[in-house]
Amino acid sequence: MKGRTFFVLLAALVGALAIGALFILLAKSDPIRAYKVMLTGPFSSSFGFTETLVRTTPLLLTGLGIIISFRCGVLNIGGEGQILIGAIASAGVALAMPNLPGVVLFPLVLLAGALAGGLWGAIAGVLKARLNVNEILSTVMLNQIAAQLYLLLIRGILIDPQEVTYGTGVPQTALVTDVVWMTRLIPGSRLSTGFILAIVLAIAVYYLLMHTTIGYRLRAVGAGPQAARYAGINVPFYMALSMFLAGALAGLAGTVEVLGVHHRALEDISAGYGFSAIVAALFGRLHPIGIIPASMLFGALILGADMMQRAVSIPAAIVMVIQGFVILFVVASDVFIRRPELFGQWKSKWSRRSGEVS
């Protein structure tokens, strides 16, 4: 059994890379050298290792939120907007009270990020629970609204005053006071305590979902709202709660980007984490522990592909091509692990067909 799993995953990976190699050849570059960098880069140096975890952190945090909402039957694709709202709220609070001591300000900033992201997420949750507004529609729209709101704030009232003085007008806030910066775990890297926070929260979410009444009720709503209602569960409340929690976790992801990576809120602070986290969450089988390795793997894939672009100078578009193929192949290979008997069925069907032809 284990042997088959290994074989299938290996085959999927090799298949994806083989097709990707054709495109690298098309771009007149060397696929072997390219893949060498892509596969070894994220693991073979402290730079690669820490940067992988820098990507893992927001994926993990956002993905945990997506797990909670998906488990409750709410398809949250609003992570991107929730990250932005969390980032701007935490930066705003940190900038508003620069003179508070760190022990007070730091928790306050975290709380602000989580609360703002949570409330933003709860909008979609309440709309679904109370007014039957589909969450896919509302989260897609709310993402766009959040993006505009975020820009409005970082170019408007929260803009770095120096940008105005010098007339450069770059849309970004001033640096937040260094008492709230998350400590860098390794000097010379961007890996911060935010990563530890994410791991701790993964365990907390696991406990919440699997070992508390709230978690049980959240999952019961996801398994069947009708049955949950008959069991006396307040379905609208738990739907809204799931989106609040999802938003809060995504908001924390935005907060970690501000406090741990950039030390300010700036343009394009989320590198598509809202969407990548869906992939990570689903690959992790919507399990709060399963997503830890899944988001690490995805972080490594993102970073490795970027390093490959630099190493062999190929168009950046190939990075997306290879990521797309890897996702498609790995997700498609799952069936051979889950239902090995299918393979046999197809084989016999195929041989029967070719038999008829000949």
Residues 223-242 that bind another protein (CB under 8 A): none
Q: Which of 98, 293, 349, 351 binds another protein (CB under 8 A)?
A: 293
Nearer to another protein, 27 or 108 (CB): 27
How far apart are alpha carbons 243 and 133 in whole angstroms?
Answer: 14
Q: Which of positions 19-78 make contact with another protein (CB under 8 A)?
A: 23, 26-27, 35-36, 39-40, 43-45, 47, 51, 54-55, 75, 77
Q: Which of positions 111-170 make contact with another protein (CB under 8 A)?
A: 127, 131-134, 136-138, 140-142, 144-145, 147-149, 151-152, 155-156, 162, 166-170
Q: Which of 212, 316, 348, 353 binds another protein (CB under 8 A)?
A: 316
How far apart are alpha carbons 97 and 177 in whole angstroms?
Answer: 9
In the bound complex, what is the minimum distance in angstroms from residue 244's beta carbon to another protein? 18
Please give the angle made by the CA atoms of 265, 201 and 137, to the nearest 5 degrees: 65
How far apart are alpha carbons 21 and 19 in whole angstroms?
Answer: 5
How far apart are alpha carbons 54 and 205 in whole angstroms?
Answer: 21
CA distances from 69 to 118, 219, 280, 331 (A): 12, 9, 14, 21
Taking the CA of residue 192 as centre, how many other CA atoms within 13 Å lie in the half-sphere pointing to its CB?
17
Residue 317 near another protein by CB under 8 A: yes
Nearer to another protein, 26 or 231 (CB): 26
Q: What are phi and psi of 106, to 5 degrees?
A: -60, -55
Q: Which of 68, 248, 252, 297 binds another protein (CB under 8 A)?
A: 297
Nearer to another protein, 107 or 340 (CB): 340
CA dihedral 131, 136, 138, 142 (to 10 degrees): 160
**Structure tokens given for 306:** 């970027």
In the bound complex, what is the minimum distance in angstroms from residue 52's beta carbon to another protein? 10
Question: Could you tell me which of 298, 330, 244, 269 has the C-alpha nearest to residue 59?
Answer: 298
Residues 193 and 185: beta-carbon distance below 8 Å? yes
Residue 5 near another protein by CB under 8 A: yes
Residue 337 near another protein by CB under 8 A: yes
Query: Which of these ranges, 103-111, 199-207, 231-239, 330-338, lies near another protein under the rule CB under 8 A?
Result: 330-338
Residue 219 near another protein by CB under 8 A: no
Q: Which of 88, 158, 251, 306 binds another protein (CB under 8 A)?
A: 306
Question: Could you tell me which of 272, 214, 202 has the C-alpha nearest to residue 240?
Answer: 214
In the bound complex, what is the minimum distance in angstroms from residue 109's beta carbon to another protein? 18
Residue 88 near another protein by CB under 8 A: no
Q: Which of 15, 106, 111, 334 binds another protein (CB under 8 A)?
A: 334
How far apart are alpha carbons 246 and 335 in whole angstroms?
Answer: 29
Q: Which of positions 270-289 make contact with another protein (CB under 8 A)?
A: 270-272, 275-276, 278-279, 282-285, 287, 289
Residue 347 near another protein by CB under 8 A: no
How far apart are alpha carbons 187 and 189 in whole angstroms?
Answer: 5
